[in-house]
Structure 1
Amino acid sequence: MPHLFSYGTLQKERVQLETFGRILQGEKDILSGYRLGMTEITDPEVVRKSGEKFHPVLTLSGNEEDHMEGILFEVTEEEILQADEYEEDDYKRIEAIFKSGKKGFIYVGK
């Protein structure tokens, strides 16, 4: 089963229910080598779901001392595609390895 790392609005139950139709199960994990910034969301449906006009966004720093805590959720292949639809065009999905040693997908700034 694939994993999806959330460091922002995908942790909200409302967003999960409206995006996936269920509450996701996951565990806390840490991603190193990335910095957190903010991006303005222009999709009104995403703003409605999240209740926020500005969402966090990760950018590669290459510095292992930079790290982000979040939740590594277990998702289906279909849910990965649903997450792709939720995330703005300002994001791209890539695969990463987490402190736990698990692999999973993250959304980073384009």
Structure 2
Amino acid sequence: MSTAAAWGMLLLAGLLDVLWALAMKSAQGYTRPGWTLLSLLLLAGFVWLLGRSLSVLPVGTAYAVWTGIGAVGTLLAGALLFGESLNAWRLGGIALVLAGIVLLKLAPA
């Protein structure tokens, strides 16, 4: 697999992580079977994609980038979909996480 494909899989894994978190919230503590099943499928999908990307990418960088995508994406989705707070502190945190992701992506392996 090429490095570009591995980064693409990692990005998709991060996006599935965000969708997984949203499905988990909608599952309401595993009381809604459809949402629960969807969350488990999304979980399996992002774990598989992350594992495939790790066959090429450095584990520390890949894991940090994946968790950053999940954290930032979930925070933004929570604000947009559920009206969760998005204040200056949270926006500053997002900026720091994004800066860290960019630095990790650009750093020599």
Q: Larger % of helix: which?
A: 2
> What TM-score do you get using the length of structure 1 for normalisation?
0.24
> What TM-score do you get using the length of structure 2 for normalisation?
0.24
By relative contact order (CA 8 Å, sep 6+), the higher-ranking structure is: 1
Q: Larger % of strand: which?
A: 1
